[in-house]
């Protein structure tokens, strides 16, 4: 499946099906984050950049699976966002990917 940042698929006419997304929230509590990522990714030592990259890959896969479930051929206009969420003493980072699932005409 094509995952594109453009709003078109080169050489194809497309029809929008709907918005698809994937997201994950990560806490900044080091111990909790380490334990969570160890269980998710099976790793014991990772730097934060690697964790973010793997998280982006995971949310992209989530989005792609949702698009496939809708019968899409591609996802266009894909965007990634990162937000910091703070509640009292706990701070988290949300990673979000979204785009438009499309079918070829």
Beta-strand (E) ranges in the chain? Answer: 2-3, 14-27, 74-87, 90-104
Lookup result for tokens 């990259």: 53
pTM listed for this prediction: 0.77
The CB-side HSE value for 69 (13 A sphere, CA atoms) comes to 10
pLDDT at 39: 59
From first to last of the 105 residues of the chain, give the pLDDT tens digit: 999 999 999 999 999 999 999 999 877 655 555 556 565 655 555 566 777 888 999 999 999 999 999 999 999 999 999 888 777 767 788 899 999 999 999
* Model pLDDT, residue 90: 72
The full set of domains in the chain, from first to last, is 2-104 (3.30.110.70)
């Amino acid at each position: 499946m094509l995952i594109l940042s453009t709003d078109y698929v080169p050489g194809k006419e497309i029809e929008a099906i709907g918005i698809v997304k994937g997201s994950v929230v990560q806490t900044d509590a080091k111990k909790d984050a380490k334990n969570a990522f160890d269980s998710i990714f099976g790793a014991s030592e990772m730097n934060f950049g690697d964790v973010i990259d793997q998280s982006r890959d995971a949310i992209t896969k989530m989005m792609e699976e949702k698009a496939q479930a809708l019968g899409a051929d591609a996802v266009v206009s894909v965007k990634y966002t990162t937000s910091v969420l703070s509640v009292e003493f706990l701070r988290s980072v949300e990673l979000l990917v979204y785009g438009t699932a499309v079918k070829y005409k």
